[in-house]
Structures are given as structure tokens and as C-alpha cells.
Amino acid sequence: MNTTFVIDIAFLLFYAALLGLVSPYIGFKDDRYGILVPAGLAAVFGGLLWAILVWTGLNDTNALLWIIVMAAMPAGGFIGAKQLGRIRGNK
């Protein structure tokens, strides 16, 4: 396994952990899901998006790849958490 790949994924997980630390203070807190759910959703979304963009041809050293992923991770966590809260609230 390439060490650059491991470092890239570790950085994405670190960024997701930072998002998880600040998420309760910026409106992600809800009684219908746990406090780690937005960070987990952001990590999964960011990892999938990163893999898709690398698969489509963007190099992992390309700044555009990282800008897209870093901007989309909070959005993915926010949208996913809101959808989960909405789904769990209907039951």
C-alpha cells in the first residue's frame, strides 16, 4: 500500500474529527442522533468523494481535489445529519 494514500486518508479522518469537535457548536446537535454522527457522515462522504475524484483522474497532489473534498465534507455531514434527524423524527 502506498504511504501517500495512508497519509491522505489519515488527514481526511483528522479533518472529520475536527468537524466532529465543532459540530455541536454550529447547529449539528439534535436529540434524534448521537454527537458523533455528523463527523462519521462527513468522514464517509469525504472518503467516498476523494476516491471517486481520484478514480476519475485527479491526482492526489492536485489542490482542486482537496478543495472540493474539504468544502464538501461539512456539507455532507450537515445534510446527512439533517436528513437522519428528519427520518427519525417521523417515526
pLDDT in tens, 61-90: 889 999 999 999 989 888 888 888 888 876
Neighbours of 24 (CB within 10 A): 12
In a domain, 45, yes or no: yes
Could you give the dihedral angle defined by the CA atoms of residues 8, 74, 64 and 57, in that order, rounded to the nearest 10 degrees?
Answer: 60
In a domain, 52, yes or no: yes
Residue 87 domain-assigned (yes or no):
yes
How far, in whole angstroms, is CA 26 from its chain's centroid?
15
The whole domain housing 73 covers 38-91
**Domain contains 3:** no
Q: Are 17 and 35 in contact (CB under 8 A)?
A: no
Residue 17 lies in a domain: no
Query: Which pTM does this prediction carry?
Result: 0.80
Domain-located, residue 7: no
Query: How high is the pLDDT of residue 68?
Result: 94
Confidence (pLDDT) at 85: 82
Instruction: Report the number of distinct structural domains present in the chain.
Output: 1
